Amino acid sequence: MSDQKKYQRYERQVILKNFGIQAQDKLFYAKILVIGAGGLGCPALQYLSAAGVGKIGIVDFDVVELTNLQRQTLYTVNDIGKPKAITAAEKLKLFNPETQYLVYQTKIEPKNALEIIEEYDLVIDGSDNFATRYLVNDACVLLHKPLVYGAILRYEGQVGVFNMPDKNSGYTANYRDLFPLPSNPATVPSCNEAGVLGVLPAIIGGFQAAEAIKICTGIGEPLCNKILSCNVLNNSFYEFNISPSKESSSYIPSTKEAFKNYNYEWFCSPGNPVNEITPAEFDDLRKREQLIIIDVREEDELPLVNEFRYTQIPLSRFKEAALEISTENKIVVFCKSGKRSVTAVNALLKKYPNIVAYSLKGGIDNWKMYEHSNLKNSSPIQL
């Protein structure tokens, strides 16, 4: 490709003062991993792809749902039920075929995280749960990779850059310096439960893409060791400066081996008294006895379940409806990710202390993944 043609598409940023061909060339060689192709991931991916980033990795195991479309703008109604990561990559390939896309249709876990992240210069965290956030943070600390953090809820969002020294102090901070240990998940609402304004992730995900571009090209001042908080209701921005602390870094697994054996799911649900069963245990129990299986997801949530019979009682109506549940059989409650089912089991146990009730660990997503695990391949698909 002639030089003129190579830069033509990016002309509007190449002509920028302090950007130029030099910064564009850096983007051509940049390798960025986006974890989560959801609310934050969609806008970040679109702008990184549009900017001409050379290689983009996309990690997501989830499928597109109708309720995602309000904010996850890479997907259409025709994509409902399709896996997000590959669907996103196919769309991006149309927007910018010059970028190489690597699709990891898998859950990021201690056993695969280091291997995946190692391939990239920088990571964007667009995940939607604390277990993944702590896992990604710790992996990036161990591998010395800059991490562009972003998180959202309702009308508020946060963005920041970890593991990257700022110009003045030279030190690096990370998520553990903000919140060394996870809080009780019951006290922190998720977007599924608390809602989120559709345009908010576009603002925060856009910020994350901007930070990633700044870091890869070396322009401007990235939000190193800072968290920028934004509230779209009153247009307020507030900056927090983070100092690294010895105590918080002591919580990070000290070696790669220790990291691989760290149970982030358990770590992020401390003091959880609810009995959880794994997908394997659940399948075994279903074979052996008659169970009452309850789905506490809201109506229309995906994936659809037609492998076994169950009753649907959305968590929002659980308190009234649960009174009618027969308690003679063992009860297994599931939701999407295994969080709301814990709340439901707790509510059941409060009402009927003598019943045997379990929460399906990792939710129906985890069960589906277990069921299909023989067909799955953890190496990336290249587009």
Choose which of 25, 90, 109, 156 interacts with other proteins (CB under 8 A): 156
Q: Is 212 helix (H, G, I), strand (E, B) or coil?
A: helix
Secondary-structure breakdown of the chain: helix, strand, coil percentages, each rounded to the nearest 5 = 40, 20, 40
Question: Does 172 sit near other proteins (CB under 8 A)?
Answer: no
Three-class DSSP labels, 353-368 = CCCCEEEECCHHHHHH
Q: Is 279 a residue that touches other proteins (CB under 8 A)?
A: no
Considering only 23, 24, 26, 38, the residue that binds other proteins (CB under 8 A) is 38
Query: What is the sign of the dihedral through the CA atoms of 114, 126, 248 and 210?
Result: positive
Cβ atoms of residues 174 and 137 within 8 Å: yes
Q: Does residue 191 carry a catalytic annotation?
A: yes
Segment near other proteins (CB under 8 A), from 37-45, 73-81, 88-96, 282-290? 37-45
In the residue annotation, 140 being an active-site residue is answered as: no
Binding flag, residue 178, other proteins (CB under 8 A):
yes
What CA–CA distance (Å, rounded) separates 53 from 213? 8
Neighbour tally for 379: CB within 10 Å: 10
Contacting residue, 188, 321, 369, 383, with other proteins by CB under 8 A:
188
Q: For the chain, first and last CA: distance in Å?
A: 20
How far is it, in rounded angstroms, from Cα 28 to Cα 25?
5
**Amino acid symbol at 23:** A
138 binding other proteins? (CB under 8 A): no
Least distance to other proteins from the beta carbon of 132, Å?
9
Residues between 232 and 271 that touch other proteins (CB under 8 A): 234, 236, 238-243, 245, 247-248
**CB–CB of 134/185 below 8 Å?**
no
* Minimum distance of other proteins from residue 293's CB (angstroms): 27
The full length of the chain comes to 383
Q: Which stretch binds other proteins (CB under 8 A): 138-146, 194-202, 257-265, 323-331?
A: 194-202
Nearer to other proteins, 124 or 325 (CB): 124
- Residues contributing to the site for other proteins (CB under 8 A): 36, 38-41, 125-130, 133, 150-154, 156-158, 177-179, 182-184, 187-191, 194, 196, 201, 227, 229, 231, 234, 236, 238-243, 245, 247-248
Q: Active-site positions?
A: 191, 335
